[in-house]
Amino acid sequence: MNSLMTFLGKLGVLKKDLDYHLLRASMVVIFLFFGYQKWFQYEAQALIPYISHGPLIFWMYPVFGVRGATYFLGVSEWLFGALLFAGFWNKKLGVLGALGACGSFIATSTIIPVMPDGWAASAGGFPAMTEHVAFLMKDLVLFAVSFHLLKEDVIRASEPGALSEALKAHPDSGGSFSQSRGPYSAEPSLRRDGYLSTGDLDKQTYRRIIEDYFRAFGTGDFSNVRFSSRIQFLSPISGITMKGRKDVMNFVSGLSTRVSDVNIISTAVDFPTASGVWQMTTTKGVQYTLHNFFRLDGEGLAYIWPMFDPKTVMDDPLGLLRWLRGEGYYEVAAQTDRSHLIPTNP
C-alpha cells in the first residue's frame, strides 16, 4: 500500500489544486454541451415533462413558451459556463458562475420528488427509479461540485486584500477601536450583538505576537503566545477546525515536539488580518516553508490558517503526512536539545 501511495504521489494526484482545476474544467465542458442542445427542437420537446413539473422553473413556459424556455436555459448555461471558465483567472467571476450553477442544479433537483412516473410501479415504486428520475440524480452531484467551486472561489477571491475587508465586515472581527494602553493590553467593551469590541493594538505589537507564535514551535512553549479566547485553528491537511485555547495549544504543542529550529522570513499586518512566512526544520532535519494567514482581535490571534509551500507537498507528500502525524518522530524529539531557541530576553 505504501508503494501505491508513493506511486500516486509521484504521478501528481497530490499536486496543488489539481482536483480544483479538474472540477472547474469538467463543469465548463458540461455547461458547454448542456447549453448547445437547448437550441434544437428535440431537446425542447424532451424537457417538457421536467420544466412543466419543476417547482422552481414551471413559470418559464407561461413567460417564454416552449422554445423560449429552452433558449433561456441555453443562454443561462452558456453564461454560467463562461463565468466558470473565466474563474481560472478571475475568482470573482468564478464566484458568479458557481452561484449560477448552484441555483441551476437546485432548481432541477427539486423536480425529483414530483416527477410523474419517476418511480417504477412494477418494482414497488420508490426508491426504484425510472429513467426520468435517474436523469435528474446527476444534478445532486453537480450541485455538490458547484458548491465546492463556490467555496474555493470565495476563499481565493478574498485573498489577501479582499479578505481583510471581508473580515472587517464579519461580526467576529470586532467593532470600533480605541488606543491601546500597552504592548499587550486592550480595553474591551460589549457590543449589542454580544461580541467584544476590543482595543486596537499597534502593528508592531501584532507583529511581535505572530513572531512569538512562530518561535514557540522551536521552544515548545506556547504559554506566552497571545491566543484570543475565540481562537480557531484550521488544520492544513485534514481541514478540521480546532476551537478554543486548550485544543489549539494542545495541537500546536504536539507539532512543536517535532521541530528543532525556526526561521522567520516575513510578517505583514493589515488589521484585522495578518500573514507570515516562516521555515521550520524538523527533528529529522527536513525543512518546510509555511505561509500563515491570521485573523486578529484585541486579545491577539483569533484565527490561524497555515499553508505549506506547494513544492514541499509535491516533493515528499508522504514525508509531510508522517511529520504531521508524528510517525517515527517522538523518540527523535525527546533527544533534541532546543535550549538555544529560547530567547534570552523574553
Same domain, 20 and 119: yes
Inside any domain, residue 242:
yes
- Do residues 52 and 149 both lie within one domain? yes
Number of domains in the chain: 2
pLDDT at 196: 36
Whether the CB-CB separation of 119 and 129 falls below 8 Å is answered with yes
CA distance 20 to 24: 6
Residue 167 within a domain: no
CA within 13 Å, CB half, 9: 17
Are the beta carbons of 164 and 123 closer than 8 angstroms?
no
Residue 107 shares a structural domain with residue 226 = no
- Its sign, for the CA torsion 77, 80, 86, 88, is negative
Residue 96 in domain:
yes
Question: Looking at the structure, do residues 152 and 205 belong to the same domain, yes or no?
Answer: no
User: Is 173 within the bounds of a domain?
Assistant: no
CB 43 within 8 A of CB 67: no
The β-bridge relationship of strands 227-234 and 241-243 is antiparallel
Residue 53, class by beta-carbon neighbours within 10 Å (0-12 exposed, 13-18 middle, 19+ buried)?
middle
Please check whether residue 69 lies inside any domain of the structure: yes
Same domain, 247 and 142: no
Could you tell me the pTM of the whole model? Answer: 0.50
* Interval 117-170: pLDDT, tens: 888 888 888 888 888 888 899 999 999 999 999 998 887 776 544 444 444 444
* Residue 293 β-bridge partners: 275, 305
* Residue 214's CATH number: 3.10.450.50
Q: Is 87 found in the same domain as 146?
A: yes
Kindly state whether residue 189 falls inside one of the protein's structural domains.
no
Please give the residue range of the domain that contains residue 114.
Answer: 4-8+13-157
In this structure, the answer to whether residues 306 and 223 fall within a common structural domain is yes
Same domain, 137 and 23: yes
Residues 19 and 139 in one domain: yes
Q: For the CA atoms of the chain, what is the radius of gyration?
A: 26
Q: Determine the pLDDT at residue 167.
A: 45
Predicted pLDDT at 108: 93
List the one residue out of 127, 324, 120, 306 whose CA is nearest residue 213. Answer: 306
Kindly state whether residues 28 and 110 are assigned to the same domain. yes
Selection from 316, 336, 166, 306 nearest residue 241 by Cα? 306
In angstroms, the CA 114 to CA 110 distance is: 8
User: Where is the domain boundary, 137, 157, 177?
Assistant: 157
In a domain, 52, yes or no: yes
Q: Which of 157, 185, 214 is the last residue of a domain?
A: 157
Task: For the chain, list residues with pLDDT below 70.
Answer: 1-2, 5-6, 8-10, 12-14, 16, 158-200, 237-238, 329-346
Which residue carries 529550529 as its cell?
Answer: 261
The reply to whether 316 falls in a domain is: yes
Note whether 295 and 302 are within 8 A (CB): yes
Q: Please state, in angstroms and rounded to a whole number, the distance separating the CA atoms of residues 298 and 301.
A: 9
* CA 220 – CA 231 distance, rounded (Å): 19
Q: Are residues 222 and 324 in the same domain?
A: yes
Map grid coordinates 485553528 to a residue.
233
Whether residues 152 and 206 fall in one domain: no
* Euclidean distance between CA atoms 260 and 41, whole angstroms: 69
* Last-in-domain residue among 87, 122, 157: 157
